[in-house]
Every structure is written in C-alpha cells, then in structure tokens.
Structure 1
Amino acid sequence: MKTASFPSLRVEPELREAAEQSLQEGETISGFVEQAIRESIERRGHQRAFVARGLASRDNAKRTGNYVAADAVMERLKGMLATAKAGK
C-alpha cells in the first residue's frame, strides 16, 4: 500500500518546543503527530456515535412517549457514583 503525507504544518516555536519536550524515548515529532491525528479521528468517531445514539433515543422517546424523569436519572447516577467511590 502506498503511503500519503499530510501538508506541512507551521506552528509557533513554543508549541514545537512543548511537543519535543513531551516526546517519549525514541519517539519522533512525525510519530507524535501521526498518533495525535489517529487519536483525534477515533475520538471524533466516538463523539459522532454518541450523538447518533442520543438522537435515536430522543426519537424513540418521542415515538413511544416513554420518557424518564430527570430526577430518576439523577438518582441513578448518584447511586452509580456512590458505588464507584465505594469500590476505590
């Protein structure tokens, strides 16, 4: 498979220096940038999926008339938080 390249990127010297200082042993700026791009693409995919699930849930609630009260949701979340804290 052929590879492609991204256009060169102009940044302020402070950003370049910060990136260089954050490199791990044996890591290059190019590798760092590639990994950052991959992670951003993955994160945006998760965001799109999250929004799609939310919209589908909203549409289902409108269609069925089955809604959950905000107070019930908050109580459940508080319970989940308490359980998580107790498990630490």
Structure 2
Amino acid sequence: MKTAQLPPVRVLASVREQIESVLLEGETLSTFVEKAAVEAAQRRQAQQEFVARGRSSLAQARKSGKYYSAADALEAMSTRLAAARAAAQHSDDCAQDERQ
C-alpha cells in the first residue's frame, strides 16, 4: 500500500515534551501522531454517522407521524442492555465450565 505524508505539525516545545513523556517503549513520535490522527478521524466519522442516523430517524418519524417518548426509548435500551448482559454472563459461565 502506498503511503502518504501528513503536513508537519508545529507545537510548543512543552507539548512535544509532554507527548514524548508518555510514549510507550519502542513507540516513536511519528507513530504516536499517526495513531492520534487516525483515531480522531474515526471518532469524527462515527459522529457523522450518528448524526446521519438521527436525521434519517427524524425524517422517518415526520413522514410516518410516529414518535417515541424518551421514556419508551430508554426502556427499550434498558431491555436490550439487560439481554446483552445476560448473554455475556451465560457465555462467561459456559467458558468457566469448560475450563473445569
């Protein structure tokens, strides 16, 4: 895969020192900056997708005239969370039984 270069980033000496002080063993300043840029881009993409889903949902609600209260939405999320926790617990229990 071809690589590309990001523009140089000018920062205060104290910022560079702060970053260098938290580098992991074997990690370079360049890899740190690259990782930070990729993670920031991924966060922004996730935010944009979230907003797009919200706008789509709003448009669908306006079209259908069917809206849900915050209480209904929270109840549905709580139910899904409880089911996911139960499934995770069951998976942990099965894994533990297999080790014994």
TM-score normalised per structure 2: 0.71
**Aligned residue number for residue 46 of structure 1:** 46
> Number of paired residues?
84
Larger Rg: 2
Give the RMSD, CA atoms, in angstroms.
2.2
Partner of 2:59: 59
Aligned-residue offset at 1:44: 0.9
Cα distance in 1 for residues equivalent to 2:36 and 2:62: 39
Query: Following the alignment from structure 1 to structure 2, what is the Cα–Cα distance between the partners of residues 9 and 39?
Result: 17
Letter in 2 for 1:19: I
Q: Distance in 1 between matches of 2:31 and 2:42?
A: 17
Q: Which has the higher helix share?
A: 2
Q: What is the match of residue 36 of structure 2? A: 36
TM-score (norm 1): 0.79
Q: Which runs of 5+ in 2 are unaligned?
A: 90-100
Deviations 1:26-64 (A, max 9, x none): 000000000011111111111111000000000000000
Alignment gaps of 5+ in structure 1: none
